[in-house]
Structure 1
């Protein structure tokens, strides 16, 4: 079992993100999860990511604020406690189009070991 306090979370830079501050809550440490890691992303107004895709699925959970998600000609706004599974290879773009910070949990599997 691994207990981590929020004040011990470490910042990380996510590729192709802007106006975003990411903290790793769990993952990549002894005693932590073995299948996935959990990030906490704070998107400033106008912040976002993409368009891009990953070879693995991920899950977004909006905790506070709003996040607009675009994929395959669709647009959807996620609000507090809405969640989204992004399948492997799905091109998506996300953007905080409000004047408030959007706070999200992101659950991502570890990269495959070569």
Structure 2
């Protein structure tokens, strides 16, 4: 078992995010998870990310507050304990349109190892 205390979670900068403070709860430790890492994102009012996509899927879980997820012009508001899966290469934008901080867990697989040609 690998335990990591919240007080030991280090910050990370997520590309194309704004008004956001991210902490890495699990991942990238030698004895940590081997398939994915877990982030804790705190989005201030007006904060968000995108539009962009990644070559791998990710899962968002809203713990507090609300987050608007925009895909192909369609908007979906996620509330406390709602979650969604963003498929690989799907362009999405997220916006905290509320006056409260949105706290969200993000589950992301590790990037595939680059193929080395002999």
How high is the TM-score relative to the length of structure 2? 0.96
Partner of 2:6: 6
Matched, 1:57 2:57: yes
Cα RMSD of the aligned pairs, angstroms, is 0.4
Q: Which runs of 5+ in 1 are unaligned?
A: none
Aligned residues: 114
Partner of 1:92: 92
Give every structure 1 segment of 4 or more consecutive aligned residues whose post-TM-superposition deviation is greater than 2 Å.
none
* Larger Rg computed on CA atoms: 2
Q: For residues 18-65 of structure 1, give each alpha carbon's deviation from its aligned partner in whole angstroms, at most 9, with x where no partner exists.
A: 000000000000110000000000000000000000000000000000
Deviation at 1:73, TM superposition (A): 1.9
Partner of 1:34: 34
Q: Which runs of 5+ in 2 are unaligned?
A: none
How high is the TM-score relative to the length of structure 1? 0.99
Partner of 2:22: 22
